[in-house]
Amino acid sequence: MEANLTFHLAVDLGATSGRTILASFDGGKVDMRELTRFKYPMIPLNGHLHWNLPLLYEEILKALKKCGEELSAKGAVLASVGIDSWGCDVAFFHKGGALSGLPFCYRDSHTDGAAERFCSRMPKEEVYASTGIQFMDFNTLFQLDTIKSHSPEIIESADKILFIPDALAYMLTGNAVTEYTVASTSQMLNPRTADLDLTLLGELGIERGKFGPMVNPGHQIGSLTKQVQEATGIGPVPVIAVAGHDTASAVIGIPTPDSAYAYLSCGTWSLLGIESPQPIINPKSLEYNITNEGGVDGTTRFLKNICGLWLFERCREEYTDAPDDVAALAALCLESDCDSIINPDDPAFAHPDSMTRAIADYCRRTGQAEPTAPADYVRVIFRSLAKRYRQVLNWIQELSPIEIKRLHVIGGGSLNSHLMQMTADETGLPVIAGPTESTALGNILIQLRATGHASSLAAMRRIAMASTQTKTYSPKTNA
C-alpha cells in the first residue's frame, strides 16, 4: 500500500436504497469502490409512509465495521466519514437522544395540498421572497405544518428536529447540527441571513432551538462516540458535515473547468440548474417556480425539480412482456413512432396506482395517441423529459447571470445514451455525460477539504477532473 494514501468513507443515501463508498486519495485523484449496498423501502404504517431510520443507522455501523477490518488488514486507518441524502424529510428526537418515532417520507400523501393551506395564512409571494424555494407540498415547511396540525404532540415533545443526514450524524457522534445545503431544501432557510427564517418558524410555532446550529460543508461535527467505536471496532473517526443534500454533493463532483454550464442530476428526480454566485429571487423566478438551494462557498444552486426517471421506473414495474435489462428496455424507444408528449410534472404522475394508466389517461385527455406497447411508453417518457429539460433550461438561461455553453449530466441517468442524445438534440447543447458517481465523489471531495487535502472549490474540481471519465453527446444538426 502506498504510504501517502488517505481513506475516506461516503455514505450516500437515495430514495429507498443506499450504499457506502470507500475512497482512497493519492494527492491527485480519488479512487472509489462500493463497500456495501442496502435497501430501505418506505414503510406503510397506520395510513402513512415512513423511513426506517434505525435500519439506516445499523447499515452505517455495518459499513464502518467492514471498513475498519479491511483497512486494519492493510495497516491503514479511516480518515473521515460523511453522509449525504435526499432533502426535506426530518427526524424527531427526545431529550437524551432517543428517536421519537419513524420519520415521515416525503411521498406520504398527508401533505397533498399542504402548500396551498399554508399560503392561505401567509402569502405565497412572502414565503418565496424569504426563501427563494420552489413550492412543493413535501417541502419541510409544509410537512411540519401538516404534522403540527394533525399530530402536534410529535413536535411539542421533540427536543431536536434534524434533517436525515444530520440525524444520522447525531446518532453517530452525539452532536446535533443543521447542515446548510440540506436545510436549504426545507423552504425555511433565508439565503440572505444563511439561517432558518424566524418569521416562518413563528408561523409554525416552532422554536429555533429545536434545530441544531447552522454549519457549512466541511465542518467537523464530531468523532464517533465510544459506543459506536465499541460496536464497530473502529477508532474515533471524524464525522464531517459534507454537502448533506445529495444534489449539492453531486454538483461539487462535476468535472468542469469553469462556470459556463448547466447541470442535470438525472435519476429518480431530474434536477436541472446552474451554480449561481448569488440567489436569484424575483417575480419571474417565482412564476417559473425555480428554487435557490445552498451550495458550497456561498454559491447557490438555482434549479428546478423535474419528475425524472421515476416515470420510467414505475412503468418498468408493470411490464410483463419487456426486457428485464434496463439498457435493453431503454433501447425500445427506437422501435416506436408514438409522438405523444406528457408534462412529467403533472400532478397525475406524483404517486399514481398505475403509471402506465396515468400516462395513457393524460394522452387521452390531451387529444393524443395513447401508448400501448412498452416501446411506446419508453419513447413517450424519454421525449417528454428531453422537451421538459429544454423548456426549463430556457427559463433558467433567461434569468441566469451565466452564459450556458454545455450541459453536464450526472447520476445514473447519464448512462442512458438514448435520453442523453435526445436531450442534446432538444437543447442544442453538447451534453457531457458523467460521472454516474458524482454524488459520492462530491461527498469525498468535501471530506478531503475538511482534512486539509483541497483548499478551494477550484481545487476540488481539479481533483474531480483527474478522477473521472465522461462521454460527450453532440446535437444532431437535423434534429
Q: Are strands 291-294 and 269-276 parallel, antiparallel or unpaired?
A: unpaired
Contact 436, 206 (CB under 8 A): no
Nearest one of 247, 223, 244, 216 to 79, comparing CA atoms? 223
Going through 171-282 in order, the beta strands assigned E by DSSP cover 178-179, 189-190, 195-196, 214-215, 219-223, 238-241, 262-266, 269-276
Q: Give the Cα separation of 360 and 377 in Å (integer).
A: 9
3-class secondary-structure state, position 54: helix
122 grid coordinates: 401567509
What are the cell numbers at 129?
421572497
Q: Are strands 238-241 and 78-84 parallel, antiparallel or unpaired?
A: parallel
Task: Tell me how far apart the alpha carbons of residues 35 and 384 are, in angstroms, rounded to a whole number.
Answer: 36
User: Which distant-in-sequence residues (6+ apart) come within 8 Å of 151 by Cβ?
Assistant: none
As a whole number of angstroms, the distance between CA 226 and CA 233 comes to: 10
Instruction: Kindly write down the DSSP assignment for every residue of 90-103, as one continuous string.
Output: EEEE-TTS-B-SPP
Kind and range of the H or E run holding 251: helix 246-252
Of 190, 180, 307, the C-alpha closest to 248 is: 180
DSSP letter at 209 equals G
CB-based burial label for 209 (10 Å; 0-12, 13-18, 19+): exposed
Q: Which of 84, 137, 197, 246 is catalytic?
A: 246
Secondary-structure percent of the chain, ordered helix, strand, coil, rounded to 5: 40, 20, 35
The pair phi, psi for residue 460, each rounded to 5°, is -65, -40
The answer to whether 246 is a known catalytic residue is: yes
Pairing verdict, β 178-179 and 214-215:
parallel
Give me the active site residues, please: 246
